[in-house]
Amino acid sequence: MMEKIFALPPRMRSRAALGMTGPAATGRFALQTCEDCNNVQYPPREFCRKCLSSALVWRDQPRQAEVLAEATIYHSLEPAFSGATAPRTGLVRHGSGVVLVAFLTGDCRVGDTVHLSYVFAPGGSVVVQADPPATDKEKASVMTSTPRPLAGLNCYLTDSENPLGQACTSALRDAGAANVWGPASRDADDSRVELVVETSWYAGTGENTSLGQRIEAHLQLAERFAPVLADRKGTWVSALSFAALSAYPDQPRYSAQMAAAQALAISLRARLLSQGARLVAAYPAKLDIEEHQSIAGSTLSWPSLALALVTALQNGHEDVYPDSQSRLWLERLTKDRKALEREMAMSSVP
């Protein structure tokens, strides 16, 4: 019998169109806007369609739009669009006046008001999805990989005994996971794993575990589970820290560890995306660990972080900033990396 090959939707995007990836990763909806004439753009481009300025930036936009036309794809030369369920596409007019191509879900019809969002298709490319506003949180599309209900999933935690592992075990079970296995689980079955949560960066093994040993442990886990996740179109979750994106100056060892973890996550994400699986990463600012004690602001509890991870999985987000401090730092990092570097350096001075 011939083996069925899983087909990915087209992944090639222009450099301008790749700008949709950032908003999609955090659940935002943004469109290119010209800084000179304030004209909103779609599709993404290099120069303003009105004044030809190159000063185009991505700005958050209202999500409401009106369906102008709809079509059902019964046959396509793209294998990914030739499944048993025919996808529906349409043209929708955004409040800014631009017209977008979107996948339609639910019972969206011409003239209906819809709710727009960016979602990740298998392979990691971003598409526009239009949902009936009342059912947005329950959206589902055969062409998108998100959201994926957690009910019935087989999960594996790389460290189920540390505080984060214990919190994730409870959160996943509350979300309906069928099995939540860990290294000590006797009934664990690697071939059935659909979700891996890498909690071991917070294993708390102290000074006796070198960075090289941690990296090697991650690589071994990746080799063990990446083929399984690719086969089952599953998800890997990396619980990291904002130090992975901007170093905590008074914690060089910890910051180096997180920077390495971020590099490993990016590499693994590229591998998984090419095979129809995905990777979600979380970047909390302050947790209840020794390395975060000098950080100002409130401490995010382990159950709150676990719940944020579960919510991100359910909503199809790729990057998670689970507390107000991490979201504030992300905004500053996006605007001026050097300014944030100096800010964090000054806050670490005794």
Is the Cβ–Cβ distance between 158 and 221 less than 8 Å?
Answer: yes
Is the Cβ–Cβ distance between 55 and 34 less than 8 Å?
Answer: yes
List b or e across 173-198, with b for residues whose CB sees 16 or more CB atoms inside 10 angstroms. eebebebbbbeeeeeeeeeebbbbbb
H or E element at residue 340: helix 337-347
**pLDDT per residue over 124-142, tens digit each?**
888 899 999 754 444 433 3
List b or e across 237-256, with b for residues whose CB sees 16 or more CB atoms inside 10 angstroms. bbbbbbbbbbbbbbbeebbe
For residue 120, the model assigns a pLDDT of 86
CA–CA gap between residue 10 and residue 206 (Å, rounded): 45
Q: What is the mean pLDDT of residues 36-58?
A: 95
**Residue 44 CB-density burial (10 A; 0-12 exposed, 13-18 middle, 19+ buried):** middle
In this structure, which CATH number among 2.40.160, 2.40.50, 1.10.3470, 2.30.30 belongs to the domain 17-138?
2.40.50
Q: Label residue 296 by pLDDT band (50, 70, 90).
A: confident
Domain boundaries, the chain: 17-138, 154-347
Q: Label residue 203 by pLDDT band (50, 70, 90).
A: confident
User: In 147-301, where does DSSP find H-type helix?
Assistant: 163-174, 211-232, 252-273
CA–CA gap between residue 240 and residue 258 (Å, rounded): 7
Is the Cβ–Cβ distance between 66 and 111 less than 8 Å?
Answer: yes
For residue 5, the model assigns a pLDDT of 45
Per-residue pLDDT for 350 more than 60? no
Q: What percent of the chain clears pLDDT 70, i.e. is strictly above it?
A: 87
**Quick check: pTM over 0.95?**
no
For residue 282, the model assigns a pLDDT of 97
Q: What is the mean pLDDT of residues 282-301?
A: 92
Instruction: Indicate the SS3 state at residue 59.
Output: strand
CA–CA gap between residue 182 and residue 165 (Å, rounded): 9
> In one letter, which amino acid is 211?
L
Closest C-alpha among 200, 163, 195, 166 to residue 179: 195
Q: What is the mean pLDDT of residues 238-261?
A: 95
Q: Label residue 143 by pLDDT band (50, 70, 90).
A: very low
Per-residue pLDDT for 3 more than 50? no
For residue 12, the model assigns a pLDDT of 72
Look at 84-88, 110-114, 181-185 and tell me which has the smallest mean pLDDT: 84-88
For residue 137, the model assigns a pLDDT of 42
For residue 202, the model assigns a pLDDT of 87
Distances (CA, A) of 235 to 145, 195, 322: 10, 5, 19
> In one letter, which amino acid is 343?
E
Q: What does DSSP say about strands 88-94 and 64-72: parallel, antiparallel, or unpaired?
A: antiparallel
* Phi and psi torsions of 197, nearest 5°: -110, 115
For residue 114, the model assigns a pLDDT of 94
For residue 264, the model assigns a pLDDT of 97
CA–CA gap between residue 333 and residue 329 (Å, rounded): 6
**pLDDT per residue over 7-37, tens digit each?**
666 667 788 888 998 898 888 999 999 999 9
The superfamily CATH assigns to domain 154-347 is: NAD(P)-binding Rossmann-like Domain (3.40.50.720)
What's the chain's average pLDDT? Answer: 88
